[in-house]
Structure 1
Amino acid sequence: MSGREPAATPAGWWIALLALTAARLGAAALLPLSPDEAYYWVWGRDLQPGYLDHPPMVALWIAAGTALAGDGPLGIRLLGPPALALASLAVAGAGNALFPDRRPGTWAAALMNAMPVTNAGAVLMTPDTPVFVFWCLALWAAARLHASGDGRWWLAVGGFAGAALASKYTAALLGAGLLLWLVAEPSARRWWRDWRLYAGGLLAGALFLPVVAWNAAHGWASFAKQGGRAGAGEDFAWRFLGELLAGQLGLASPVLLALCAVGVGAAAVAWARRGAGGAGLLAALTLPAAALFLWQATGSRVQGNWPAILYPAASVAAAAFTARRWQRIGAWLGLGLTVLALVQAAAAPLPLRRGTDPTLARLGGWPGLAREAEAARRAAGAAFLAAEEYGLAAQLALHLPPGVPVVAIGDRWALFGLPAPPAGEAGILLRSLRRGEGPSLWSGAAPGGEVVRARDGIEAERYRLLRVETPPPGQPAALLPRPR
């Protein structure tokens, strides 16, 4: 181990990081909001210690951003780009601390920032953004702990790990990786006798305690929902493994994914053969979690964004153990794919259909849909617009003209502190035709036409309009907030 501080980072690297952050802020302001982002904006207007889907950190970030910049895309996403710049500094510092002789830090940060998944997390505001940032900061603190031998770093590790766990439950894999390293790495076993290890753990637990308390007060709803996703299904399915691999090829980019795999493998070999504790830390933070995701994909779908938390440590390993020439190729390819995706999302120069353009499916046509829905509401003389899908309801709340009530219905809304809709009023419900024609949650719904969400004339989704009345008492429903 070495406590030697890394030399100053080149000025060009700082300029590139500032330029990248400015570009991400511009993209955050220009790109349309996704349904999930709109839904998390509702969270930010009803702050709680927990929610059905995730812990509350993303709501806190959105509340802070919208307080500074308003309820538009920039305000909702405001904290993402500067936070990713901080995460980049953390990864660079971690790489230089773990390998002071090779000093791979700036290249590790460059590889991580070239990945499309990192840029998506920097621009779009979901729970993946804060958990990724705090994971990077925890990696940096653990690297400084290993390099310096100073046990006070355990307090920083615990604080960042607790903040990551208050962002998304998959941060538990960070604790599992650190535990494996403490058990398997001989030079780290001495920390079991140091009170600061346990103080860091207590700090992490204290930061997560409000989430536990919220779950206890709400029938363990969030733990049950997310815990139900753990584990593989009963039947082995190659297609889920194929989806996971294809997703990572697109989100990390092919060359960078290969470099990360080779780098982590080389780090594991260096740990096993030479007792390289710093390389072992990287292997412990990636390999068990990667194995878990692969195992889960043998029987159920693993969302492509879930493994994003593995790439900070994997990028350090790639920068330390692979050829610089391939790192340059991978970085340029990753950035090129990122630019293509962002341009398509913002301007749609390619007239792609929904099945080949995820930006159309998630981001396209929401303001136009709100205008069509509002015209239908006025024509019907209805008092409100409504939706059963939480993302659709939140998009309507963001895009409809001021003063138009938006009602959301479903069990999840019983866990919010939002007001109930006024009784005895008629409204128009939007229901996606892609989700089938099953029975509505609204009793007595009557057909009322269709509206289409489209971008530049290309259909993204079609919605059935149903005439409904305010849900009866006892039916979970909420009157959603509107932009201030």
Structure 2
Amino acid sequence: MRLSVSTISLSFLAVHIAIAASVPLFDDEAYYALWARDLALGYYDHPPVIAYMIRMGTGPFGETPLGIRLFPVIGFVASGYLVGDIARRMSCGSVGLPVLATTLYNLSLLVFALGSFATPDAPSALFWVATLWAAIRAVNTPPDTRSAMLWWICTGILIGLGCLSKFTNAFLALGLLAYLFATRKGRGYLLTRLPYMTVVAALLPLLPYLFWNLQHDWLGLERQSARLVASGYSIRHIGEYAALLLLAPTPLVTWSAFQALKAPPKESALLIWSSAPLVFYFAYHATHASVQANWIVPLQALFVIHAAFGLAQAQSPRPWIKATFATALLLSVGSVATAFNPVTPIGAADNPPNQTRGWSATQDAIAELLKETGARWIATTDYARTGSLALRFPHVPVWSVAELQRYGFRGNFPTELCTAPGLLVERVSWSETKSQNAPRLFGTVGATYPAIRTQGDATLMRYHLTPVCEVILPDLCPNLRRCRLRHHHDRPA
């Protein structure tokens, strides 16, 4: 059977759905799932599209790992399909190149690692690639036709949706603008109305989000724009960034992509210019802070499309293609299999794979203490615990009593919890023997009990479980009243 872009995409869809359904949620996913319970036009940490994608899956499948991850998985697979179609158009209808590009995209380290999980990178990558796909159609359609107008408007709408997914996609808009000014073909369009229609189309999806920011003192935009400010400069992260940029597509893919630049394919300039602002911004960011691996996911399309052409142009393409496939498969599948293996933790750090491990005993300890103390709700002090415990205890109210700016989407804090007995669950260090936060957050504080999340001999995280009552934060409970804690049995530490 001849492979096609569709069969490759469906194969990876099956793989990612199997992983999505079998691996427990990690902290960020649980936090985004909390967003999906209360849909809003904007959120403190990111724009809102990931919440809407999660809600589309939890509607029919519930707040299960598969339900939360289903549409982000589909988003990543769809972006791979569009990568293949871009390669087909750039190669004037070639059959092999699209399959090669789609396969390499799905096997790139970051796409394969993130493709099974619910993060804002899923819609960001989808709309980044979709924008490139529409832009290539736009610049190859005669400008005086109705089809051209529709493709340019479509490009704008996809830019806007990308920015509603992650602010990273704003750099794609800058890159396409650079393409219009820097290339002869692009400059020809500046004398038409098409680019200006694209700008208007891009702004339309953003209007509700801008309105939300206006209503919330520019909370989301201020949060993200803070990354643009540097307090000092250093070169220590530059090498990390360069290595990440070159190794994430897998080494032979990167090598083949650079080989293709000796005889660049049609519309190569559009792909390169569209990615250049993001590449240079991250280089600037690396002068004062580390560039996180998932940030460069949108750049994978640039590498794999050029790599497909580079491999096709090789003197002996077949062995090079096989070696590239084998290397990408070994690195990507091996990395995910190692990270999420069910037996051995990945060190003792608080990384996403470890966040999925060892919850059974900890969850039982929390449930038992809730019952013994008569606690009617769970209090938290960070977003990771808030999201994770909200999903693990769906019938118990879980509310954060810190970082309140994160939770405006949930509405007002329930007044009945102000004087209701609760259980404060906090992540703590080994040196802490009792809760440091409880006395400044609650008027009544009980004895602190430790809980340790482990797998095998590895300690993954230490928690304090503290019975509490009477929230004394005026932002949450302006009318303070006294309450009492129920006595509970002593336990050995």
TM-score by length of 1: 0.86
- Shift in alpha-carbon separation, 1:114–1:60, aligned structure 2, 3 A: same
Instruction: Give the corresponding residue for 2:234.
Output: 236
- Shift in alpha-carbon separation, 1:252–1:434, aligned structure 2, 3 A: farther
| 1:332 corresponds to 2:326 | yes
Please list the CA deviations of residues 32-87 of structure 1 after superposition, one character each: whole Å capped at 9, or x if unmatched: 11111111111111111100011110011011111121110111011123222321
Aligned partner of 1:21 among 13, 24, 28: 13
Conserved 8 A contact 1:131-1:168 = yes
Counterpart amino acid of 2:282? F
Unpaired stretches in structure 1, ≥5 consecutive residues: 1-8, 478-484
CA distance in structure 2 between the partners assigned to 1:298 and 1:412 by the alignment: 29
Unpaired stretches in structure 2, ≥5 consecutive residues: 478-493
CA RMSD of aligned residues (A): 2.7
Q: Which SS does the other structure have where 1:407 is aligned? A: strand
Aligned partner of 1:91 among 60, 80, 83: 83
Instruction: Give the corresponding residue for 2:454.
Output: 454
Conserved 8 A contact 2:179-2:269 = yes
State the shift of 1:245 in Å.
4.3
- Which range moved further: 78-87 or 96-105? 96-105
Instruction: Give the corresponding residue for 1:376.
Output: 369
Instruction: Give the corresponding residue for 2:489.
Output: none
CA distance in structure 1 between the partners assigned to 2:465 and 2:329 by the alignment: 42
Conserved 8 A contact 2:112-2:333 = no
Please list the CA deviations of residues 325-384 of structure 1 after superposition, one character each: whole Å capped at 9, or x if unmatched: 4444333222223323433454434454224x9454332234443222222322333222
Conserved 8 A contact 2:256-2:307 = yes
Mapping of 1:386-401 within 5 angstroms? 386-400=379-393
- Shift in alpha-carbon separation, 1:387–1:52, aligned structure 2, 3 A: same
TM-score by length of 2: 0.85
Instruction: Give the corresponding residue for 2:275.
Output: 286
Conserved 8 A contact 2:8-2:102 = no
CA distance in structure 2 between the partners assigned to 1:342 and 1:287 by the alignment: 29
State the shift of 1:138 in Å.
0.8
Counterpart amino acid of 2:112? N
State the shift of 1:13 in Å.
4.5
Q: Which SS does the other structure have where 2:419 is aligned? A: coil
Please list the CA deviations of residues 190-235 of structure 1 after superposition, one character each: whole Å capped at 9, or x if unmatched: 2112223222221110011111111010000111111001244413
Q: How many residues align?
A: 458
Q: Which SS does the other structure have where 2:42 is aligned? A: coil
State the shift of 1:390 in Å.
0.8
Identical counterparts, % of pairs: 28
Conserved 8 A contact 2:110-2:297 = yes
CA distance in structure 2 between the partners assigned to 1:176 and 1:62 by the alignment: 29
Instruction: Give the corresponding residue for 1:342.
Output: 336
Q: Which SS does the other structure have where 2:395 is aligned? A: coil
State the shift of 1:432 in Å.
1.3
Conserved 8 A contact 2:4-2:99 = no
Conserved 8 A contact 2:450-2:462 = yes
- Which of the two has higher C-alpha Rg? 2
Counterpart amino acid of 1:74? L
Mapping of 1:307-318 within 5 angstroms? 307-318=296-307
- Which range moved further: 150-159 or 321-330? 321-330
- Which range moved further: 411-420 or 242-251? 242-251
CA distance in structure 1 between the partners assigned to 2:164 and 2:125 by the alignment: 12
Aligned partner of 1:187 among 163, 185, 195: 185
CA distance in structure 2 between the partners assigned to 1:399 and 1:197 by the alignment: 49
Conserved 8 A contact 1:285-1:310 = no
Instruction: Give the corresponding residue for 1:143.
Output: 136
- Shift in alpha-carbon separation, 1:371–1:107, aligned structure 2, 3 A: same
Instruction: Give the corresponding residue for 1:113.
Output: 106
Aligned partner of 1:157 among 145, 155, 160: 155
Aligned partner of 1:197 among 173, 195, 198: 195
Mapping of 1:37-436 within 5 angstroms? 37-100=29-92, 104-150=97-143, 151-152=148-149, 153-238=151-236, 240-245=237-242, 247-248=244-245, 251-260=248-257, 262=258, 267=261, 278-322=267-311, 323=314, 324=317, 325-350=319-344, 352-355=346-349, 358-400=351-393, 402-409=394-401, 410-421=403-414, 422-434=417-429
Conserved 8 A contact 1:361-1:461 = no
CA distance in structure 1 between the partners assigned to 2:219 and 2:3 by the alignment: 49
CA distance in structure 2 between the partners assigned to 1:248 and 1:455 by the alignment: 33
- Shift in alpha-carbon separation, 1:366–1:222, aligned structure 2, 3 A: farther
